[in-house]
A = this chain, B = another copy of it.
Amino acid sequence: MTFTAQQNSFMREAIRLSEENVRSSNGGPFGVVIVKDGVIISTGVNEVTRHNDPTAHAEINAIRAACRVLGTFSLEGCEIYSSCEPCPMCLGAIYWARPSALFFANTQQDAAAIQFDDQFIYQEIARSHADRRLPTYQMLRDEALQAFRLWKDDETKLAY
């Protein structure tokens, strides 16, 4: 695959943000830019420790910012450039946001080599509940299903 000069420049901006985030002691070495119609509409860096928020990865921050800019919960037609392959949390967020494409540079194996849990979490998610390191239990499904029936029957709901 060959990339255009513009695509390279978007990824280089994500990479620049990832380096700046380390140099400024703001957080982990991760940067993201989100692009729509050839223009950067949001950026994000890792701010987990800075904001005491384990969900504050670069992708999540950039997605939330892009949605604020666009005033919508959908990033249809957008491209996401991440300096590293998204972890399962961020990949899940990307699927929910529904962009048109994802570009990444470093891999989950590269992240594992500097002691980030991305690869471990990918392995865990692929396991059955019983085989996961996190103790996981199902209970009270019969009672919980009522909310799903309410949702299904709600004709005023805003589905997504």
Q: Is there an interface contact between A63 and B52, defined as CB atoms closer than 8 Å? A: no
A11 close to chain B: CB less than 8 A:
yes
Copies of this chain, whole number: 2
Q: How large is the interface on A (under 10, 10 to 19, 20 to 34, 35 or more residues)?
A: 35 or more
Residues A100-133 near B (CB distance < 8 A)? 100-107, 110-111, 113-115, 117, 120-122, 124-126
A60 touching B71, Cβ below 8 Å: no
Using CB atoms, name the residue of chain B closest to A154: B22
What residues of B have a CB within 8 angstroms of the CB of A126 in the complex?
Answer: 126
* Chain B, Cβ-Cβ closest to A15: B144
Contact B11 A101 (CB under 8 A): no
State the CA gap A152–B22 with chains docked (Å): 10
Given A54-B74, A106-B144, 10 new contacts (CB under 8 A)? A8-B140, A30-B147, A48-B73, A53-B73, A55-B63, A88-B91, A110-B141, A110-B145, A110-B148, A114-B151
